[in-house]
Structure 1
């Protein structure tokens, strides 16, 4: 009986997440009501409220899940080797492909950029901790450099998603890593 209940919960959460992503493609989160969300998901409002407080809570939980997945994934890899960095970036892009609708929607939502900021924080922490450990790049400069690299990378990914992933994850990973590594290797302050 518990397995059936767990499956039902997973299904309910899945259709609510999918419905929110679909609705976010055509309107801002503030314009989406719980009633509209439930109608789109074909569930009743009381079921919605057993899982989430409101549509903002649902979006927050979707974002939390993605950020946790990214952190878990990035913690499994060694960024010190250039080839490993390329493979890690490629795998991360493959993860983005597997969650295309979510990333495309959340990175392009005009109303709130909290997801983009959170993705940038995760990536920046890993970039500073794993690629910018050179003594010649002081902490203040590494923050500027990581912000520049991560912002550019996010926008490359947004463009790639907007172009319906017209290049392979490997090709985009090469572009991002080449820019990142060249920026890091050439950022020595006199």
Structure 2
């Protein structure tokens, strides 16, 4: 009896998540009503409320799953050299490509800023740790450099998703890595 209940609970949560993600393609979470979410998921309101307080909690849970998966994926690696940093960037971009629909929605116009901030916090933390071990710069300076790098990387990934991921994850990772490690000077060598 318990496994049937667990499966039903899992199914309900899955259809609610899918329904919210589809609605977020159309409008921001603030404009999503519980009524339309339940209609889209084909469940009643009391079932929704037995799982989530509101649409914001549901969105938070979706974001949390992605963040946890991303963190687990990235924390399994020790990225110390430039080639390992490229592998880190490549792994992030590949992860985003694997979860492109969800990531595009969460990073898109109707997603919440909290997801982007949480992704930034994780990657910022990993970069600070890596760069603190490698460089003798002040922590304050490293924080600004990491913030600049992570913000730019997320903007590149958002644009790449919105444009239909024409370039491969490897190409995007290389672009982000080149810019991070060489700044604008990499453009002088890549145009030849």
- Common fold, TM-score beyond 0.5? yes
Other-structure match for 1:155: 155
CA RMSD of aligned residues (A): 1.5
What secondary structure, in the 3-state scheme, does the structure 1 residue paired with 2:133 have?
A: coil
C-alpha deviations, 1:138-186, integer Å up to 9, x for none?
1111011011100100000001000111111111111111122225xxx
Paired residues, what number?
183
Listed as ranges, the matches of 1:42-121 within 5 Å are 42-110=42-110, 112-121=112-121
What secondary structure, in the 3-state scheme, does the structure 1 residue paired with 2:53 have?
A: coil
Unaligned runs of 5+ in 2: 184-192
Unaligned runs of 5+ in 1: 184-190
Other-structure match for 2:167: 167
- Residue 111 of structure 1: how far off its partner (Å): 7.0
Other-structure match for 1:41: 41
| Shift in CA distance, 91/134, structure 1 to aligned 2, threshold 3 Å | closer
Counterparts of 2:57 and 2:88 in 1: how far apart (Å)?
A: 31
**Runs of 4+ residues deviating >4 angstroms:** none
| Shift in CA distance, 97/112, structure 1 to aligned 2, threshold 3 Å | same
Other-structure match for 2:186: none
CA contact (8 A) 1:104 1:162 kept: yes
| Shift in CA distance, 72/24, structure 1 to aligned 2, threshold 3 Å | same
- Residue 110 of structure 1: how far off its partner (Å): 4.8
CA contact (8 A) 2:128 2:143 kept: yes
Counterparts of 1:27 and 1:63 in 2: how far apart (Å)?
A: 17
